[in-house]
Amino acid sequence: MKIETQDKVAEITFHKLSLRDILQSEPEKTVNYQRIYRSVRSIFAGSNIILDAGCGTGTFARIMSKEGYIIVGLDICKDLVRFSKSINNTEGFMPVVGDLERMPFREGCFDSCICIFVLHHFPSIKGVCSELYRVVKNKGRVLVIDTNGSNPYLKLSRRIAGLFKVLLEKIGRASKNERSHNHSTYIKRLSENGFRNIHLRSGFMASMRIKRRSCASLLIFIISIIESIIFKVTWKTLPQPLNGHFLIISAQK
């Protein structure tokens, strides 16, 4: 059986194309991330140096560094790292360029690791889980937050989006690497790599919409509104962990 691997060039290209939309959604993204952080902050008790694996523009890292943590960010896209340096004027955040499947760090050098809305950009998350286990200290904690592939509506929307895959990639709204992993995949891959005390639940937050600049983006804008309504319905009607549109997973080495 062929193992799917991440196309690194395609991933970097995607982030370059989507950077403008990322910047526009930053204020709303910050509010949502602050809410998430408040719900998971107890996980980092006793931690000092934390890895933000796939730091992007450094939104989550910025929130944590203001709490006194030292955050080392890692991202494959130089443009994102450069931008994150320009907007995060704090000594507590140090972003560097690198691949999550081959991290440029020695074993056991972080008290905790976070990976926020990143793993759906990997067709297989096995390599990243292995690296997270390698770089975190013994008894260190790992927090993974990502799209909920177990949500039945998300499964359907991904299939529909697949019909417009080429268009979405061209306008920087999708990466060819994207997969929505279900909750059992996260549990399986983390446990296979040695993690224990794995806890998982689903969450809900406001959708981040883009501004209407073209016919293509207008279509995505309309879809995002429809998805927001449907996700609110599934959040209220389905059981955990099927109901939320993202998963919160914590584990210990």
Q: Domains, the chain, ranges and CATH?
A: 8-252 (3.40.50.150)
Q: Phi then psi for 73, rounded to 5 degrees? A: -95, 145
Q: Which residues of 175-212 are buried (b: 16+ CB within 10 A; e: fewer)?
A: bbbbbbbbbebbbbbbeebebeebebebbebebbbbee
Q: What is the pTM of this model?
A: 0.86
- DSSP-based three-state secondary structure for 210: coil
State how far Cα 97 lies from the chain centre: 17
Provide the residue-wise pLDDT of the chain in tens; the chain has 253 residues: 455 789 999 899 888 887 877 777 777 788 889 999 999 999 999 999 999 999 999 999 999 999 999 999 999 999 999 988 888 777 899 999 999 999 999 999 999 999 999 999 999 999 999 999 999 999 999 999 999 999 887 777 777 666 656 555 555 566 788 888 999 999 999 999 999 999 999 988 765 444 444 455 566 667 677 777 777 787 888 889 988 889 999 999 9
Distance CA 182, CA 154 (A): 10
Distance CA 252, CA 229 (A): 35
Distance CA 76, CA 90 (A): 21
